[in-house]
Amino acid sequence: MNTVDTRTKILDVAQDLIQRVGVNAMSYRDISEAIGIRNAGVHYHFPTKDGLITALLERYSDDVLSLLDQIIASPESAETKLRRYFALFETTLLSGNQDKACLGGMLGAENESLDAALTEKVANFYRANERRLAVILVEGQQSGAFKFAGDAETMAVLVFSTLQGGMLLSRVKGDGTEYRAILERLVRMLKG
């Protein structure tokens, strides 16, 4: 197994674990057992857990924000763009045993146990999502598809908070259908 493949596998397994059980419940031992390497192999690539989480969050942010930029750049209607954005969250939740959440949401839930640099990276991920959501919401207001009161930036914070919180509630209840209902209510609320 070459270095790049091992590093990528470590990141993939760590992401899956954090999205399911959280950063504090995930250990290097869990990762090494899942990949079939020695614990020292994980430490070789990521000497510290903070380093692993930083690399993971950077990769995740790049991937998610790139997808959002593609959605925004598409010629689709604002409502379709919003629904595609929502689908990213729903797909994560419904994968596997309906026990996964957004990596950013899971890290945010354990904010107090993260170092200051990681806390700032998580906050930056949230802000980047909210900015992109605001672009979609403004487009919807301008086209007449969305008729909500207040400014798009504040509504973006509300929508993003609902997506993250709704995902956590749905995980606890083990009911992805409720999450879909939350998403539909959000769309109706935005349409006025």
Give per-residue pLDDT as tens, 149-172. 999 999 999 999 999 999 988 888
In the prediction, which pLDDT does 1 show?
45
Q: Residue 36 gets which letter from DSSP?
A: T
Q: Residue 113 gets which letter from DSSP?
A: G
Residue 53 structure tokens: 């989480």
3-class state of residue 20 by DSSP: helix
pTM score of the predicted model: 0.92
Nearest Cα neighbor of 100 from 167, 33, 8, 159 is 167
Point out the least confidently predicted range of 1-5, 11-15, 63-67, 116-120: 1-5
Neighbours of 143 (CB within 10 A): 11
The phi and psi torsions of 142 (rounded to 5 degrees) equal -65, -35
In the prediction, which pLDDT does 175 show?
77
Residue type at 45 in one-letter notation: H
Q: Report the distance separating Cα 109 and Cα 127, nearest Å.
A: 16
Enter the CATH code of domain 54-191.
Answer: 1.10.357.10
Whats the size of the chain, residue-wise?
192
In the prediction, which pLDDT does 4 show?
57
Q: Taking the domains of the chain in order of start, what are their residue ranges?
A: 54-191
In the prediction, which pLDDT does 91 show?
93
Cβ burial of 19 (10 Å; 0-12, 13-18, 19+) is buried
